[in-house]
Structure 1
């Protein structure tokens, strides 16, 4: 084999190689050139290896496994359900409060309108006062 100093494209690659194998010889030539560069500059090679290791670890950190994806999806669904449940509970409490106020108001009106005189007749004065209050509240 020739020493690296004599390597040139003319020496390593000639037209005498069969056409269907040229790509293999070209690939081998590139590989030999890279090895030669690596041997001549080991500090650069070490830095490249360190960068490759760092980038590989960064990719691993960024790339999520299917288990991690499933956990994240589960947490997302869980928080959505909690939010929906909380909103439903709030609506339910508001509705119950509104119903309680409505029933209380109706009961007060019923008590006023139900009152009778000593003879058992409806108390028209109280009914008229109730209607007057109702009209005044609307305006």
Structure 2
């Protein structure tokens, strides 16, 4: 066994710069270049890289703000419900609901009356309107036409336009219905033509079979019946002559 030096007995060896995995082939006095990273950089992105850090921070703040808004809205809705329950007891709630409905209907009737007056002033002649509002002088009973006119509340021009204006759903629904109708007609026509074609093919096959049976008849001696064949050819010639005369 080799002798051990007392100096190196208790000495621990470390690599260059404390890295024992570093290559031993590096030249003495030559340091490897490291990329400089600023210590004060706290976020992602920069002026060169873009607005990554600012955009993320903005989105985070926006998300927190929306969360707060939702919480406030929820809190207000729960508070309003509690107030309603405290102010209006259960046995009186139906009265308050009926009163609110009545006020709503009155407001709607007033609005329709205003539109009626505006339409009268715009469309009708003042003399006609005055005559329609006159009552019967003898009996003091108002004119039934006037009462019926008062009872029927008209719709304003804006409301008419709004009602006549079709929504995108209605337009697409109408387009779909037209396409569906076209397809149905096309299918019916195709089925009709198919039926006529099949009937014509059936008639043609039947006629061919009849002619074949007629021409394949034989005499008692087993020979082909030339009389029937000649008669068939004569009928065929006469038929072609008739067709030519009709065309001419």
Name the TM-score class by shorter chain.
0.5 to 0.7
Counterpart-to-counterpart distance in 2, 1:138 and 1:94: 25
Backbone CA RMSD of aligned residues: 2.1
Partner of 2:118: 47
**Equivalent of 1:62, from 164, 175, 194?**
164
Work out whether 1:75 is the aligned partner of 2:177. Answer: yes
Highest Rg: 1 or 2? Answer: 2
- 1:47-103 CA distance string (max 9 Å, x none): 17x97x612212112211111111101110110011101110111111111111111
Specify which structure has the higher proportion of helix: 1
**Equivalent of 1:103, from 175, 185, 205?**
205
In the TM superposition, structure 1's runs of 4+ consecutive aligned residues that sit over 6 Å from their partners are: none
TM-score, normalised to structure 2, is 0.35
Counterpart-to-counterpart distance in 1, 2:185 and 2:236: 41
Partner of 2:196: 94
**Equivalent of 1:123, from 225, 234, 239?**
225
Counterpart-to-counterpart distance in 2, 1:138 and 1:66: 63
The answer for unaligned runs of 5 or more in structure 1 is 1-42
Counterpart-to-counterpart distance in 1, 2:234 and 2:195: 33
TM-score, normalised to structure 1, is 0.60
Matches within 5 A, 1:26-41: none
Aligned residues: 93
